[in-house]
Amino acid sequence: MAMKHLRGLTILLTALVTLGALAWGWHARQAALATTRVPQTRTATLFLPGNSGGWLSMRDMVLSLNRPQLARFSLTARVTDSGHVSWQQHQPINTNPLVPVLFKDNTHAAREARQLVTVLTQLRARYGITHVNFVGHSSGGTIAYDYLNQARRAPVTVSRIVCIGADFPGCPPLRAHYPQLHILNLAGSIGLTGNDSEVPVDTATPLRHLVAGHVGSYRFEELRGPVWDMQHSLLHENPAIDRKIIRFLYPPS
């Protein structure tokens, strides 16, 4: 009986130490984000969730970046199956607006890319936004890429794109030229596995060849770390990645 209690105590202590380490790591990363400063602009950043994703997919990232010295969670765009867009305004739209885009039909990236035209067209007409960034997790990166590669696009300029844990199976090379566009492609790797548990790193790297010669700049980074930082569905929960993203989206002028 004493051995059984000792084993239980050991498990409990191990769990507490693990939770404590995670909490300390989270606090340290949040503290690092709190010291970050970026220029204030009217370029809106649209967050595109991956397959079957919604508000919960991008919530922590959006709320983490919603700080006076970084950006404002200004709008939410909700897109119905038929492509109708409804808007909810949360804050003034004047300093680095953050805009999650939530698709009702969230399992067809090509269709979501077509619906994104309406989102962007209304964003300009209703709110005067002329320049946008995209942050796409998983197939959200594919939505951003498909948008660029389709014939019909909105009257806005896409300045920067961040892909997080995205792959590009069967995508054709980029057809149009976007000399003003800068792309950051982030792939997670749990330790040395070369995989974030769902997307292998080598399925993210083809993006380089798809956009070569068509964009202003392209950068790829493989991020390595423990499973609680680099697992596919946790990449958008990592404040260290948030900090990397916000500095890329809004660089010093």
Q: For residue 199, which of 159, 249, 234, 162 has the smallest C-alpha distance?
A: 234
Residue 213, pLDDT > 90, answer yes
Exposure letters 92-109 (e unless 16+ CB within 10 A, then b): ebebbbbbbbbbeebeeb
Do 216 and 183 form a contact (C-beta atoms < 8 A)?
Answer: no
- Give the whole-angstrom CA distance, residue 131 versus residue 189: 32
Mean pLDDT of 209-226: 94
Please report how the helices 139-148 and 109-127 are oriented relative to each other, as an axis angle in degrees rounded to 10: 70
- Give the whole-angstrom CA distance, residue 166 versus residue 48: 11
Do 116 and 101 form a contact (C-beta atoms < 8 A)?
Answer: yes
Give the model's confidence band at 18: pLDDT under 50 very low, under 70 low, under 90 confident, else very high. low
Exposure letters 142-172 (e unless 16+ CB within 10 A, then b): bbbbbbbbeeebbebebbbbbbbbbbbeeee
Residue 201, pLDDT > 60, answer yes
- Give the whole-angstrom CA distance, residue 143 versus residue 4: 53
Question: Distances from the Cα of 138 to the Cαs of 82, 117, 118, 213, 234, in angstroms?
Answer: 23, 20, 22, 24, 11
- Give the whole-angstrom CA distance, residue 192 versus residue 46: 31
What residues contact residue 31 under an 8 Å CB cut-off, 6+ apart? none
Structural domains in the chain? 36-249 (3.40.50.1820)
Give the model's confidence band at 6: pLDDT under 50 very low, under 70 low, under 90 confident, else very high. low
pLDDT tens, 91-141? 999 999 999 999 999 899 999 999 999 999 999 999 999 999 999 999 999
Give the model's confidence band at 58: pLDDT under 50 very low, under 70 low, under 90 confident, else very high. confident
